[in-house]
Structure 1
Amino acid sequence: MPSSRFTGSVTTPTVALSIDTGSPLLDHTLDGFLKIAGVAATRSLGEDAYHAARKGKLSGSDLEKSLKKMCKEGAYWGTVAGVYVGMEYGVERVRGRRDWKNAMLGGMATGALMSAATNKGTDKVVTDAITGGAIATAAKFLNYLV
């Protein structure tokens, strides 16, 4: 019986960017911001390209809206990531340990800060802190498994 097999490898592109502000906390924060801002902007661009392809046309107005959306998404998600990375690094430095608790505390602080910045009220700040801590902790545990 005939059979076929596919073999190969997939490699991801790497971008080397070194940030040195003289402060490790600021370096980590900026690195997190730039990485996730780029991902968010690219996701937004892909989404808008898909919608333009479905419509079958692209106008100057569509391009302007897409660029504004890319900047807005990149800035928002980059800020969230930067705050989280900075918080996690700060907690690690204060505690003197590198474990999942840093992710949990960093996620909680990030959730609370981002929620408080949008003036959603005390209950929402608490629930967003819990959500941020849970997501960060789950992500850290998943990283340990992989």
Structure 2
Amino acid sequence: MGRTVFSTSPRVDVIVDLGNPFLNLTVDGFLKIGSVAVAKAAAEEAYFIAKRGSVSRHDFEKSLKKMCREGAYWGTVAGLYVGMEYGVERVRGVRDWKNAMIGGALTGAIVSAASNQSKDKIVLNAITGSAVATAAEFINHFT
């Protein structure tokens, strides 16, 4: 039976070689998702500047800080997730969707705990991280 492809997108690979697969994957995830977050923040800021019709030095500095903050935050979350998934794969000795589920749960819990969230919020974020990572893993295998 044929395979249906919903969309095709270019694949961008950044070569990172720190001599350790765990570090390579973590830095690669940080760079890729961090750059997407920077582009998102830049687009949002460009929209608001265009809407106002002018840009000041203060606006530019504020935009640059937001881009850096967003890139660092989302890059860190992505790097943590990729590292957790790889670590779980190494511990379990199996490469399957369960690694994404466990890695997502650990990432959600760690990010939430680092943000000084309540115990209930940590559990909910672990569940959310697990669900999103598992869904992304399944979608990735079907496209």
For residue 78 of structure 1, the aligned residue among 72, 75, 79 is 75
Cα deviation 1:37-79 (Å, max 9, x = unaligned): 1000011001100111111111111100000000000000000
Aligned to 1:138: 135
Aligned to 1:5: none
Cα deviation 1:111-146 (Å, max 9, x = unaligned): 000000011121111111011000000111111221
SS in 2 for 1:32: helix
CA–CA distance in 1 between the matches of 2:81 and 2:87? 10
Are residues 1:102 and 2:99 paired? yes
Question: Residue type of the partner of 1:67?
Answer: L
How far does residue 21 in structure 1 lie from its aligned partner after superposition?
1.2
SS in 1 for 2:95: coil
- Bigger-Rg structure (1/2): 1
Aligned to 1:68: 65
Question: Residue type of the partner of 1:125?
Answer: I
TM-score by length of 2: 0.90
Runs of 4+ in 1 over 2 A off after TM superposition: 14-17
For residue 86 of structure 2, the aligned residue among 75, 83, 89 is 89
Question: Residue type of the partner of 1:127?
Answer: L
How far does residue 15 in structure 1 lie from its aligned partner after superposition?
5.0
For residue 28 of structure 1, the aligned residue among 15, 25, 29 is 25
Question: Residue type of the partner of 1:131?
Answer: T
In structure 2, runs of 5+ residues without a counterpart are 1-7
How far does residue 97 in structure 1 lie from its aligned partner after superposition?
1.0
- What percentage of residue pairs aligned between the two structures are identical? 60
